[in-house]
Copies of this chain bind each other. A is one copy, B any other.
Amino acid sequence: MSDDLISDQDYEALAAFRHAMRRFAAFSEMEAKASGLTPRQHQALLAIKGTPSAPNGLAISQIAEHLLIQHNSAVELVDRLAEAGLVRRQSDPADGRRILVTLTERSETVLRGLSAAHLRELRGIRSTLLALLRRF
C-alpha cells in the first residue's frame, strides 16, 4: 500500500478536481435550498424526470439505485418529498410490491427552474472541468 508512486502534480490534480466538484455541489446545494429542496431531494426529482425509459415514474428501489443510497433511506426521502407535495406515490399495477413515484405539477415547475440554473452553471464551468479531467 505504501509503495504507490504519487507525484506532487498528482496530488494537486486530485485536489483541484475535487475542489471543482465541491464547487459545483455547493452551487447545487444553494440553488436547491433556495427552491426549498435538499440536494438529495433535488437529485431524486431529477432522476425521476431524467429517466425516459420509466415514463410512469421510478420505483423506490430504482431511486435508491440511482442515488446510490440504501433502500430505507430512499423510502424516507420519498416520505419527505411526498409530505412536501413534490411527488405522488402510486402502486405499480404490474407488481403490487412496487411503488411508482411521480412528480407533481409543483415539482415539475421547481425542477424546471433548477435545471435551467444548473445548465447555465455547467455551461460556464464545462471547459474548466474538461481541463481538470484531462490531467488524469
Contacts and interface: CB of A to CB of B under 8 A. Distances in A.
Interface of A: 1-2, 4, 6, 8, 10-19, 21-26, 43, 46-47, 49-52, 66-68, 109, 111-113, 115-116, 118-119, 122-123, 126, 129-130, 133-134, 136
The dominant DSSP class at the A interface is helix
A46 B129 contact: no
Contact of A133 (B6, B52, B130): B130
A8 B49 CA distance: 8
A15 B123 contact: no
Contacts of A6: 112, 115-116, 119
17 contacts: A1-B109, A2-B113, A4-B112, A4-B115, A6-B116, A10-B115, A12-B50, A13-B50, A14-B46, A14-B119, A18-B46, A19-B66, A21-B25, A26-B68, A122-B136, A126-B136, A130-B133
